[in-house]
Amino acid sequence: MKFTQGAVILVTAAVASLAPVATTPAAATPASAVTTSHAAAPACRVTANIRVGQSPFGVAANPKTNTIYVTNSSGGTVSVINGRTNTVVATVPVGFGPSGVAANPRTNTIYVTNSSGGTVSVISGRTSTVVATVPVGLDPEGVAANPKTNTIYVANVDTDSVSVISGRTSTVVATVPVSLDPEGVAANPKTNTIYVTNSSSGTVSVINGRTSTVVATVPVGFEAIGVAANPKTSIIYVTNESGYTVSVLTCGRK
């Protein structure tokens, strides 16, 4: 397979006017924005295409610094994008096959999983340099940071485990066995709970952040991959790739 230079597409949202929608349909053009029949719905449009490295894969943003980080899986680098100017301001060499990326806004530190190298690169957001390389399990993919506890969680696909990294020392402080082929990971800072999708077993492992132990295993759909947590509602969303569904987990409520 031949890899070429990649690009990051920036999409912005603007609140549409509350004026009534015209009843006569306008002719579509290639540059037309995609809208709906709801007059108050946000309208999105592409405002920039940013050239990055080879095979861009993961992306994360630090809202405090307005900086975006993109992993270039074939290039072994991370592109650092200034969110104000939409330009690449640094290219950081990391390990082999960088995939997942997460930012801790409180410490301005970025964590990158190197799937082919079995490591996590720790990047200083201030200097855009690698300040530590942390050995984890085999084929690390998903990564999430809990900014409240300054703890990072890494899903190791080939070792069926989650590496728990102390953000203060940049060392693995625990390794949590989960189910088959963990891919995605999300943290709920409000409850200090971590959710890990196990793609081959179709489950989600629920990890207590205080004890670093699995407290529940929840069956979801086929090939569970992505996961996201809403801290305000404590509701978790899981994508089931082969099941064409999203499982909604209501946690902490009866």
Q: Nearest-5° angle of CA 64, CA 11, CA 128?
A: 40
> 37, 17 in Cβ contact below 8 A?
no
**Is residue 130, in this structure, part of any structural domain at all?**
yes
Total tally of structural domains belonging to the chain: 2
The domain boundary, picked from 135, 169, 190, lies at 135
Q: For residues 6-21, b (16+ Cβ closer than 10 Å) or e, as one string? A: bebeeeeeeebeeeee
Handedness of CA 20, 25, 31, 36 (dihedral sign): positive
**Is residue 24, in this structure, part of any structural domain at all?**
no
The domain boundary, picked from 135, 164, 198, lies at 135
Q: How far apart are CA 254 and CA 250, in angstroms?
A: 9
Judge if 5 and 119 occupy the same domain: yes
The domain in which residue 175 lies consists of 139-254
Return the CATH number at 131: 2.120.10.30
**Is residue 34, in this structure, part of any structural domain at all?**
no
What does each of the 254 residues of the chain score in pLDDT, given as a tens digit? 333 456 666 655 543 333 343 434 444 444 444 445 555 667 899 999 999 999 999 999 999 999 999 999 999 999 999 999 999 999 999 999 999 999 999 999 999 999 999 999 999 999 999 999 999 999 999 999 999 999 999 999 999 999 999 999 999 999 999 999 999 999 999 999 999 999 999 999 999 999 999 999 999 999 999 999 999 999 999 999 998 999 999 986 54
Sheet with 182-188: strands ordered across: 182-188, 193-198, 203-208, 213-219
Q: How far apart are CA 160 and CA 74, in angstroms?
A: 24
The domain boundary, picked from 114, 135, 156, lies at 135
Judge if 128 and 186 occupy the same domain: no
**Is residue 101, in this structure, part of any structural domain at all?**
yes
